[in-house]
Amino acid sequence: MSNRKVTVFGAYGHTGKFVVRELLKRGLTPILSGRDSAKLKALSRAHPELQVRLADVESSASLKAAMAGSSAVINCAGPFLDTAVPIIEAAICSGIHYLDVAAEQAAVVEVFARFEHDARLGKLVIAPAMAFYGGLGDLLATAAMGEWEDADEIRIGVALDSWKPTLGTRLTGERNHGRRFILSNSKLERTDPPEGRTWGFLSPFGQQDVVPLSLSETITIARHLRTPEIRVFMNAAPLADLRNPNTPTPTAADESGRSSQIFQMDVIARRGNEESRVVARGQDIYATSAPIVVEATERILNGSARATGVVAAGEAFDARDFLDSLGAAHLDLQFLMSSGAVSKSR
């Protein structure tokens, strides 16, 4: 990897700051970029050694200038319905890779539809939704499938003990209206989801009431794993936090900047009477997005991505190896078979 510079658009945002720290920790050099000059200046005081480049999605020239000399750009600025396409266009023109942390289904659908067959991509990688929502579910589903060529269904359960949304999450929610996509009978379709149910999470969550909440992992999984049905659920309590306009933004609970929020993502692939289950547990969904997107960036820059063009996480990388690389600092993983015997735990 000769060029270790990575432009971070939206570097001053909550997730963007985690991404900047993760890049620095791995010896990569972030270029701080975004639309708000005051926030960029404030961030630069914490990182005076880093370049700062003001840019706006309304100005292709400013985006290209922000990416000049970089090997990749990580887009942390939502709503991605507004930012993804112009930044990808600028990245392609600049000849660099693109990654983002989008949870928005419509944004990810648009990226695949618009750029999948773009002849300009060449050896470039465009990797949307490389984060807690999207990327982690995709990697876990791919790992759960293992050597299976297909599955009858994939079910994902997400449990959060609370959800203090960032300003970006609030803005994205206001922008991202309408029915969500689900995969049913091998077709992605916007539809009213089925009613809620209960889900037996592992400790400390246990049995939880869950409601359908399909996000960007449904779009990415449907691209490369052979299954006719994908269903995603979340426990109900954190959604009440999200809908409450008085819920505060996240606050740091340790020296890493992570909040005290804990999560569990439970992915089950079923084929006939067999079930393969992978469980990931950790702290702070926003902070966890940083090692996911930065690990993906590093692998792309090292030339170890298995595909170019527009890719999903499990399509571009060895899912089990990628998950293992995140280490116990970020994820506690358990792999279980239908018998309930744990095949690996750390």
CA angle 229-235-236, nearest 5°? 120
Mean pLDDT of 265-271: 97
**Chain centroid, CA 295 distance in Å:** 12
Q: What phi, psi does 112 have (nearest 5°)? A: -65, -45
How many Å apart are CA 341 and CA 120, to the nearest integer? 48
Q: Residue 175's pLDDT band (boundaries 50, 70, 90)?
A: confident
B/e letters for 302-331, b = 16+ CB within 10 Å, e = fewer, are: eeebeeebbbbbbbbbbbbebbeebeeebb
| Residue 190: predicted pLDDT | 87
pLDDT over 90 at 161, yes or no: yes
Instruction: Please give the angle made by the CA atoms of 8, 180 and 191, to the nearest 5 degrees.
Output: 165
Q: What is the mean pLDDT of residues 271-292?
A: 97
| Whole-prediction pTM | 0.95
pLDDT in tens, 19-53: 999 999 999 999 999 999 999 999 999 999 999 99
Give 54-104 pLDDT, tens digit per residue: 999 999 999 999 999 999 999 999 999 999 999 999 999 999 999 999 999
Sequence ranges of the domains in the chain:
5-130+289-319, 132-285+327-345
**Mean of pLDDT values over 317-325:** 96
Q: pLDDT-based confidence at 341, cuts 50/70/90?
A: very low
The residues near 251 (Cβ < 8 Å, ≥ 6 apart) are 164, 259
- Of the candidate CATH numbers 3.40.50.720, 3.40.50.2300, 1.10.3720.10, 3.20.20.70, the domain formed by 5-130+289-319 belongs to 3.40.50.720
Mean pLDDT for 172-195 is: 83
Residue 269 has pLDDT above 90, yes or no: yes
pLDDT of 342 over the 70 cut: no
Residue 346 is predicted with a pLDDT of 37
Q: According to the model, what pLDDT value does residue 13 have? A: 96
Tell me the CATH number for domain 132-285+327-345.
3.30.360.10
| Neighbouring residues of 184: CB distance < 8 A, sequence distance ≥ 6 | 191, 228, 229
Rounded to the nearest angstrom, the gap between the alpha carbon of residue 107 and the centroid of all alpha carbons in its chain is 13
* Whether residue 195 has pLDDT greater than 80: no
Contact by Cβ (8 Å): 111, 88: yes
Q: Which residue has the higher pLDDT, 196 or 78?
A: 78
State the DSSP code for 10: T
Q: Tens of pLDDT along 208-221?
A: 999 999 999 999 99
CB 176 within 8 A of CB 310: no
| Cβ atoms 44, 32 nearer than 8 A | yes
Instruction: Please list, residue by residue across 195-222, b when 16 or more beta carbons sit within 10 angstroms of its beta carbon and e when fewer do.
Output: eeeebebeeebeebebebbbbbbbbbbb
Structure-block tokens of residue 251:
């606050």
User: What is the pLDDT at residue 340?
Assistant: 45
Average pLDDT for 292-318: 97
In this structure, which long-range contacts are made by residues 109-115, counting pairs with CB atoms below 8 Å and at least 24 apart in sequence? 109/181, 109/188, 109/219, 110/81, 110/84, 110/85, 111/84, 111/85, 111/310, 112/219, 112/223, 112/310, 114/85, 115/88, 115/309, 115/310
pLDDT in tens, 296-307: 999 999 999 999
From the list 50, 56, 48, 102, the residue with the least C-alpha distance to 80 is 102
Give the per-residue pLDDT at 193. Answer: 66
> What would the pLDDT profile of 102-122 be if each residue is shown by its tens digit?
999 999 999 999 999 998 999
Q: pLDDT-based confidence at 3, cuts 50/70/90?
A: confident
239: left (phi over 0), alpha (psi -120 to 50) or beta: alpha
Determine the Cα–Cα distance for residues 131 and 101; give it in Å rounded to an integer: 5
Q: What pLDDT, on a 0 to 100 scale, did the predictor assign at position 281?
A: 97
pLDDT at 2: 75
pLDDT at 1: 64
- Kindly report, residue by residue over 227-238, the tens digit of the pLDDT: 999 999 999 999
Query: What's the rounded Cα separation, in Å, for the pair 123 and 95?
Result: 9
User: What's the longest Cα–Cα distance across the chain?
Assistant: 58
What is the identity of the amino acid at 273? N
What pLDDT score was predicted for residue 328? 79
